[in-house]
Amino acid sequence: MESLKVMEKFDGGNFHLWKFKMRMMLSNHGLWKFVDGSATIPHDEDQITDYNEKATKTFALFYEHLTDAQLAHIQYCENVKSVWETLCGVHEAKTIKNKLFLRKRFFTIKMQEGEYLLTHINMVKALADQLRSIEVNIEDEDVYVVFFMSLPPSFDNLVTNLESMSTKDVDLQFIVARLLHEFSKRKESESKGNVALLNKTHKANKKLCFYYKKPGHFVRNCLKKKSDEKEKANQACDDQEQMFVTALSANDHARNDWIIDSGATQHMMFERKWFTTYESIIPRKVYMGDDTILEAIGKGSIKATMQIGGKMLLTTITEVLHVPKMKNSLISISKFISEGLKVKFDKDGCKVNNVHGTVVAQARREKNLYLLNVNV
């Protein structure tokens, strides 16, 4: 039988992807039955010889596709079924420690400016698949949130547009396609810009920039000057928070109803006296969904009680921005997720669970809003 080595050796990096590729390769050549245990020993002597050859080849393929560090896990396994089960047991351990480790990696992953977008997308998907493989419920909405939170600031405008769309109009495939399309346009624009700059510089080698003190261009075209000005502008905007309220009819609700908002980057409260701890901050701009701009002037924590399953739970909501001119307070989903909490929506409301699965907050649904009743 010819060699079937068509993929790289597994070194412990992405077991979920390697497992899928290994299974497809073995299935394609009719060898997977030796792994799942469905292969039966034939009675005919000639068929027995063929059976033993294929079983041995399947065993050898695992050794060909594992590094020495991974071979240590399976060197005493007697058959390919036990090899597969051993590797799954090592790399898909369903312990709390492993789940917490992968959840933290998933919700804190970041893409750096200049990084290749497709590599980042594949990394996010791979982490989501690894979590699902150890029975952690990761839905497409969780992947959306991680994509939006992990992209660099240069994608802010696109993320804002995607966040404002109805969930009925988007799915994971649509979001990935939009991100890749945007990335492709930028690369094409950069390429054209570099060619134009080289041609322009070649013709203008006698010009002198009074800002950079270098020949080849005038100050009005100085890239360093523009870069320095942009950096100063970015520094001035570092403390601004963007928020988009999905429903502007929230003014009709009680003052102790907090809106669960998928677009808010921070928890936000309008009433100063409700804060348990408080500190004034340099005013930050808060962008609303109807294009109005408010200001956050302080931040702190709020001690509150919430009713969960008929019981009153005392809790503290931390890192809350004080926005006096807001009509309703907001709970940020992305903030919850970044803290390791899980938010689950259904037609009646939503629940927030901690890493142990305990419900720590429960909101009701009214029309298109999810409202969390908070008593301060």
pTM over 0.75: no
- Per the DSSP assignment, residues forming a β-bridge with 280 are 298
Q: Which residue type sits at 258? A: W
What is residue 208's three-state secondary structure? strand
**Residue 246: helix, strand or coil by DSSP?**
coil
pLDDT grade, residue 146 (50/70/90)? Answer: confident
Mean pLDDT of the 152-157 span: 84
State the pLDDT at residue 225. 58
Task: Classify domain 241-373 by CATH number.
Answer: 2.40.70
State how far the Cα of 325 lies from the Cα of 307, in Å rounded to an integer: 27
More confident site: 369 or 33:
33
For range 349-376, the mean pLDDT = 83
The CA distance from 155 to 139, in Å, is 23
Question: Helix, strand, or coil here: 240?
Answer: coil
Nearest to residue 181, comparing CAs of 171, 192, 173? Answer: 173
Give CATH 2.40.70 domain extents, the chain.
241-373
Cα torsion at 45, 50, 54, 59 (round to 10°)? Answer: 40
Specify the DSSP element, H or E, that contains 100: helix 96-108
SS3 279: strand
Mean pLDDT estimate for the chain:
76
